Copies of this chain bind each other. A is one copy, B any other.
Amino acid sequence: MKILIAEDDPLTLDALATCIESEGFTVLRASDGREAVELWRSGKPDLLCLDIMMPHVDGYEVCRRVRASDRTLPILFLSAKNQEIDVVVGLDLGADDFIRKPYTRSEVMARIRAALRRSAPREAGDSFLLGDLTVRPRALLAERESKSIELTPREVSMLCLLHVHKGEAVSRDAFLDTCWGLDYFPDSRTLDQHILLLRKKIENDPANPAIIQTVRAVGYRLGGPMRSGC
């Protein structure tokens, strides 16, 4: 993991860098905004720590330029500027966090860890939520209020497919392609049957499915209020 630090005061820069390196990260050092942008382009860091006031190009401007081509790279401001308006400006420029001086090493590290954690790609096999149900693919389990429901590999595979396509309908063909062999096209009730069993297992009221909704002529879709949907 590479972290870029842009800070014009050599002492502060060094203190920060030492601290971050001691946690096992690689540090790229920039002493002004221009250098920061160059290093960002050449060094491919995983996270930026930017001071606001720097020669040539200030931290805001660095943030703006980076965000123009990378909307997900974690960017943290570290600054003595203490007006909340600056915080608001910084965050609304697309920064992920704004740490005011005086800060402690441990807080800076905690915020860096938090930012990196968020940007880490989710692994397949991680647990996820389906309504009030927690699905743990690797354990072949679903849990509701600490009650466990055993699942078969195929059932897990179906739930994962639905989860991956959360918010949209998943066609019956997609189910057969993904959860069965590709060239499998029975004119049969196999898929319906599996949906039926799944619903009996995981729905509170299998007769009125709240989790697995059917989309006639297409397939199925996850129900419930979608988070992050606008």
Contact = CB atoms under 8 A, between A and B. Distances in A.
Contact of A121 (B70, B72, B227): B72
A12 B121 CA distance: 34
Contacts of A68: 134
Contacts of A128: 70
A143 B68 CA distance: 11
Given A106-B85, A129-B69, A230 B124 contact: yes
A218 B140 contact: yes
A228 B139 contact: no
Given A126-B71, A224-B44, A139 B92 contact: no
A6 interface: no
B88 A122 contact: no
Contacts of A94: 117
The number of times this chain is found in the oligomer is 2
Query: Number of contact residues on A: which range applies?
Result: 35 or more
A136 interface: yes
28 contacts: A1-B230, A41-B132, A44-B224, A44-B225, A44-B227, A46-B228, A68-B134, A69-B127, A69-B129, A70-B128, A70-B129, A71-B127, A72-B122, A84-B104, A84-B106, A87-B110, A88-B107, A91-B110, A92-B110, A92-B114, A97-B97, A124-B230, A139-B169, A139-B221, A140-B169, A140-B218, A140-B221, A146-B225
Interface in A54-69: 68-69
Contact of A218 (B46, B118, B132, B153): B153
A206 to B, nearest CB: 20
Interface in A2-54: 41, 44, 46
A152 B168 CA distance: 13
A167 interface: yes
B140 A215 contact: yes
Nearest to A106: B88
